[in-house]
């Protein structure tokens, strides 16, 4: 609307605006255009692109990305757009009810709900309608926190802008004059970047996508986000640095003063004192909680000489005390790298600056006297402490928290009913932090008959759990903290340090696991899964009158054969097993413990909606399992309730799994194949170099023969492959001979998956 004082754009700005042609970023959509013709208010330094100003804006709009409520036009925001993830400029659309924001650029376009022709991913991508945190699987590889496109088959997600380019060639100018490269215009290129370039954006260091801008005279490349949304030329924030910082848009090796890591391009620098920082370190939070520490940690610009010999409490590597990081104000010497503290598997993303810290009582009991406590999980009665004194209790005396037998340990016992807690289990705090979850976990006394699966070890349990949302840990795994010391590796402590380029094979069970604790000393590659880390050291079993101790394998090859008296098959001497004091017995761990150690005898548990009585297997005769047709040989079995005839299941495997079954998981260079067959005997496995897996075994009380031939797709390295034959399953780690010949993960992404096979 024209007026005597200029152009009126009431939805954009309250003052009249003058026609303007200046190379600047728009306060309207936050974007940068090569031809920045528009409207300008000198009074407020407010600029609107002509294209944006000529569009008819509505005060309220309906948008497919947020179908539940209309969005209202707003001014000024410190948030990011929930669709593209970029920082919002002046104008945006908002749903106040859902705290949902869209910048002007995204509000004008409607990304499709489904993309089925994305050139770098073979499956359909679905646009999510709820905000979620994710790592983009496109070339950018950056973390996101809005509405991504997701592939349900592969469980991967993408930024909207990384996979959807509406009319790209028409929307992107073939040539732009950019403020960070004023010598020459930048030309739009598609496809592969020139061979002489590093293929990365000069400003942000991200590998460029299909469309990018390039100057061949200067070998200067920018990706689309840095062309459309360039970083500011200067930055001033006293919380980051005392002086103003300027962006240096060039290749230059430097050490970031904020995080201590090396950089190779475009830092923000202080010309007064030489301070340099990565662009993404400007937004580091000030006060946060991390999952490895009970107290808050605070951002500091210099860790100081008090941290001269300190290591990061997350990655366990030395910190640069001359640079910034995070430290605990209560615990002297507790420091964390800036990048480690803000990792998505360490921090929950919440900035706590200005949020008061509430002191919380996490003590699980009240002391009545020297030997009596009142525990929050058993409010009706007091618990009396019983000292172990070397007495090994029978298996029917169990801890209600971890459900393991009391064994040799001190415990608390109810004086009025059948309720007991190991001393260590009784001392578990009501709330705690854990390396496997970013928010605080709450100790829950599970009275629900539905059993839960521990996130760390996958044990089924109906004991106490540490829980937050859908994350559930049994008390044994939930009580593990760093450093963790285990008698199987007594010389060095273990830590939870996730790595991508590692097979994560546990030294205890020789099985690939999702979560492992590892030794960080030198070249030691010792790893321990949470299940092996929490198995009982001493147990009682009816096969032997003496206590059975967990042996961590013989270092030297045994002269004779080791034999398990429970399953009557051979025991591998170099693997973990249970043995008695005089070492006459060598029993498989699985045979001694079974797979139901997390379930409390004499309780009713629901398994897939079916009520089962958890029964201690201590009678003279052992019932037949109706699933695998074998005798119930484990310490615990299940009796199905509500059946006209007595029906039994020998194990969790028979209760939750099919028999027989094959599970498959795969990485770029390995196949993890598991054949589950209860009470298998005379097992034979053959792996052919051409990629054929042959299996045969007898199972059940009728000795039914099961045979399987599985085509693996391509050649395998037999010598480097490992096959572990157990009583209930055969686990194989198969090395691909030529990984580059395997075009993709042939079983469809991350495992494990059940494989449909024909049994002969």
Residues 628 and 709 reside in one and the same domain: no
pLDDT at 78: 65
Distance in angstroms (rounded) separating the CA atoms of residues 230 and 247 = 11
pLDDT at 211: 85
pLDDT at 265: 94
Residues 617 and 632 reside in one and the same domain: yes
**Cα 550 versus chain centre, distance:** 31
Give the model confidence (pLDDT) of 170-220 as tens digits: 457 788 888 899 899 999 998 889 999 999 999 999 888 878 999 999 999
The verdict on residue 86 lying in a domain is no
pLDDT at 750: 42
Distance in angstroms (rounded) separating the CA atoms of residues 547 and 583 = 11
Give the model confidence (pLDDT) of 659-708 as tens digits: 567 777 777 788 888 887 766 678 888 898 888 888 888 765 556 777 88
Query: Which of 462, 524, 461, 460 minimizes the C-alpha distance to 493?
Result: 524
> Coil, helix or strand for 477?
helix
Q: What percent of the chain has pLDDT over 90?
A: 32
More confident residue, 556 or 406: 406
pTM for the full model? 0.70
Distance in angstroms (rounded) separating the CA atoms of residues 697 and 705 = 6
End position of a domain, from candidates 54, 69, 93? 54
pLDDT at 30: 58
406, 422 Cβ separation under 8 angstroms: yes
Residues 667 and 747 reside in one and the same domain: yes
pLDDT at 454: 93
**Model confidence at 23: pLDDT above 70:** no
More confident residue, 92 or 28: 92
Residues 187 and 224 reside in one and the same domain: yes
**Helix (H) or strand (E) segment spanning residue 338:** helix 338-341
Residues 710 and 739 reside in one and the same domain: yes
Share the mean pLDDT of the chain.
Answer: 83
Quickly state the pLDDT bin for 748 (edges 50, 70, 90): very low
The verdict on residue 527 lying in a domain is no
In order, the DSSP letters of 254-282 are: EE-TTT--EEEE--EE-TTT--EE-GGGT
pLDDT at 167: 47
Give the model confidence (pLDDT) of 125-177 as tens digits: 888 877 777 878 776 667 777 788 888 877 788 888 777 765 444 457 788 88
Q: Strand locations in 349-464, DSSP E?
A: 365-369, 372-375, 383-386, 411-414, 420-422, 431-434, 437-444, 452-453, 460-461
> Coil, helix or strand for 162?
helix
Residues 673 and 730 reside in one and the same domain: yes
Distance in angstroms (rounded) separating the CA atoms of residues 95 and 109 = 17
| Two tokens, residue 467 | 């829980």
The verdict on residue 253 lying in a domain is yes
Give the model confidence (pLDDT) of 457-500 as tens digits: 989 899 999 999 889 999 999 999 999 999 999 999 999 998 76
If you search the block for the tokens 């590093």, which residue do you land on? 198
Rg for the chain, CA atoms, rounded: 31
| Two tokens, residue 59 | 């005060």
CATH of the domain at 259: 3.30.60
The verdict on residue 99 lying in a domain is no
> Coil, helix or strand for 596?
coil
Q: Which residues neighbour 238 within 8 Å (Cβ) at sequence distance 6 or greater?
A: none
Residues 652 and 667 reside in one and the same domain: no
Distance in angstroms (rounded) separating the CA atoms of residues 696 and 709 = 9
**Model confidence at 586: pLDDT above 70:** yes
The verdict on residue 335 lying in a domain is no
**Model confidence at 544: pLDDT above 90:** no
**Model confidence at 448: pLDDT above 90:** no
Query: Which of 392, 395, 397, 484 minimizes the C-alpha distance to 434?
Result: 484
The verdict on residue 569 lying in a domain is yes
**Long-range contacts made by residues 695-701, C-beta under 8 angstroms, separation at least 24?**
695/730, 697/730, 699/628, 699/629, 699/630, 699/659, 699/660, 700/628, 700/629, 700/630, 701/624, 701/629, 701/630, 701/631
| Number of structural domains in the chain | 6
Give the model confidence (pLDDT) of 366-375 as tens digits: 999 989 999 9
Residues 570 and 629 reside in one and the same domain: no
Residues 647 and 674 reside in one and the same domain: no
The verdict on residue 13 lying in a domain is yes
480, 530 Cβ separation under 8 angstroms: yes
**Model confidence at 60: pLDDT above 50:** yes
Residues 206 and 245 reside in one and the same domain: no
Adjacent-strand bridge partners of 753:
664
Domain, as residue range, for 678: 661-754
The verdict on residue 143 lying in a domain is no
Q: How far is CA 479 from CA 27, 430, 432, 473, 476, in A?
A: 51, 11, 9, 9, 5
Residues 184 and 265 reside in one and the same domain: no
Residues 625 and 667 reside in one and the same domain: no
């Amino acid at each position: 609307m024209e007026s005597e004082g200029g152009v009126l754009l009431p939805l954009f700005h309250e003052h009249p605006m003058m026609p303007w042609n200046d190379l600047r970023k728009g306060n309207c959509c936050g974007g940068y255009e090569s031809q920045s013709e528009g409207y300008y208010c000198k009074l407020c330094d407010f600029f609107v692109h002509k294209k944006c100003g000529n569009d008819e804006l509505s005060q309220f709009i309906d948008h497919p990305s947020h179908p539940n409520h209309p969005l209202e036009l707003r001014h000024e925001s410190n948030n990011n757009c929930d669709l593209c993830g970029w920082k919002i400029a002046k104008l945006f659309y908002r749903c106040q009810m859902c705290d949902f924001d869209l910048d002007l650029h995204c509000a004008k376009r409607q990304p499709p709900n489904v993309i089925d022709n994305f050139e770098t991913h073979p499956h359909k991508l679905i646009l999510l309608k709820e905000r979620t945190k994710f790592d983009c699987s496109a070339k950018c590889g950056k973390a996101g926190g809005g509405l991504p496109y997701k592939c349900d088959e592969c469980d991967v997600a993408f930024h909207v802008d990384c996979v959807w380019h509406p009319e790209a060639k028409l929307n992107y100018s073939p040539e732009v004059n950019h403020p960070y490269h004023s010598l020459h215009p930048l030309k739009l290129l598609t496809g592969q970047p020139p061979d002489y370039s590093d293929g990365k954006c000069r400003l942000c260091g991200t590998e460029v996508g299909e469309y990018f801008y390039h100057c061949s005279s200067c070998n200067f490349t920018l990706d689309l986000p840095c062309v459309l949304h360039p970083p500011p030329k200067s930055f001033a924030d006293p919380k980051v640095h005392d002086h103003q910082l300027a962006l240096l848009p060039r290749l230059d090796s430097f050490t970031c003063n904020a995080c201590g890591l090396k950089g190779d391009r475009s830092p923000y620098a202080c010309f007064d004192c030489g301070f340099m920082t990565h662009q993404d370190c400007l937004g580091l939070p000030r006060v946060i909680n991390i999952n490895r520490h009970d107290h808050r940690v605070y951002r500091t610009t210099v860790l100081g000489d008090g941290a001269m010999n300190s290591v990061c409490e997350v990655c366990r590597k030395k910190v640069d005390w001359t640079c910034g990081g995070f430290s605990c104000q209560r615990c002297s010497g507790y420091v964390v790298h800036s990048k480690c503290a803000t990792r998505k598997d360490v921090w929950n993303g919440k900035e706590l600056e200005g949020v008061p810290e509430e002191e919380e009582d996490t003590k699980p009991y009240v002391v009545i006297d020297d030997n009596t406590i009142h525990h929050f999980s058993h409010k009706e009665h007091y618990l009396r402490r019983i000292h172990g004194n070397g007495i090994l209790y029978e298996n029917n005396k169990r801890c209600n928290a971890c459900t393991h037998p009391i064994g040799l340990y001190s415990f608390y016992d109810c004086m009025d009913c059948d309720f007991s807690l190991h001393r260590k289990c009784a001392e578990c705090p009501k709330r705690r932090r854990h390396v496997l979850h970013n928010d605080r976990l709450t100790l829950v006394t599970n009275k629900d008959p539905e059993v839960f699966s521990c996130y760390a070890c996958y044990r089924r349990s109906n004991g106490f759990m540490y829980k937050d949302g859908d994350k559930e840990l049994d008390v044994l795994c939930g009580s593990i903290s760093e450093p963790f010391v285990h008698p199987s590796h007594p010389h060095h402590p273990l830590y939870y340090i996730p790595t991508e380029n590692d097979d994560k094979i546990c030294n205890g069970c020789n099985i690939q696991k999702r979560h492992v604790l590892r030794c960080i000393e030198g070249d030691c590659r010792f790893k321990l899964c949470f299940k092996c880390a929490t198995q009982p050291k001493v147990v009682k079993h009816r096969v032997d009158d003496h206590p059975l101790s967990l042996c961590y394998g013989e270092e030297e090859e045994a002269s004779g054969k080791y034999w398990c008296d429970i399953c009557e098959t051979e025991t591998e001497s170099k693997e973990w097993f249970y043995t008695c004091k005089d070492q006459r017995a060598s029993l498989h761990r699985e045979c001694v413990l079974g797979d139901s150690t997390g379930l409390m005898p004499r309780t009713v548990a629901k398994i897939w909606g079916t009520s089962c009585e958890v029964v201690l297997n201590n009678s003279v005769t052992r019932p037949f399992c109706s699933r695998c047709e074998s005798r119930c040989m484990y310490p615990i079995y299940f009796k199905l309730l509500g059946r006209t005839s007595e029906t039994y299941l020998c194990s969790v495997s028979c209760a939750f799994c099919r028999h027989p079954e094959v599970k498959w998981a795969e990485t770029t260079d390995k196949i993890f194949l598991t054949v589950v067959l209860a009470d298998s005997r005379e097992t034979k496995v053959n792996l052919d170099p051409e990629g054929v897996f042959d299996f045969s075994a007898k199972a059940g009380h009728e000795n039914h023969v099961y045979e399987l031939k599985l085509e693996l797709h391509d050649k395998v390295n037999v010598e480097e492959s490992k096959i572990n034959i157990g009583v209930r399953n055969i686990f194989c780690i198969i090395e691909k001979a030529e990984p580059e010949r395997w075009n993709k993960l042939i079983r469809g992404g991350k495992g494990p998956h059940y494989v449909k096979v024909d049994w002969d």
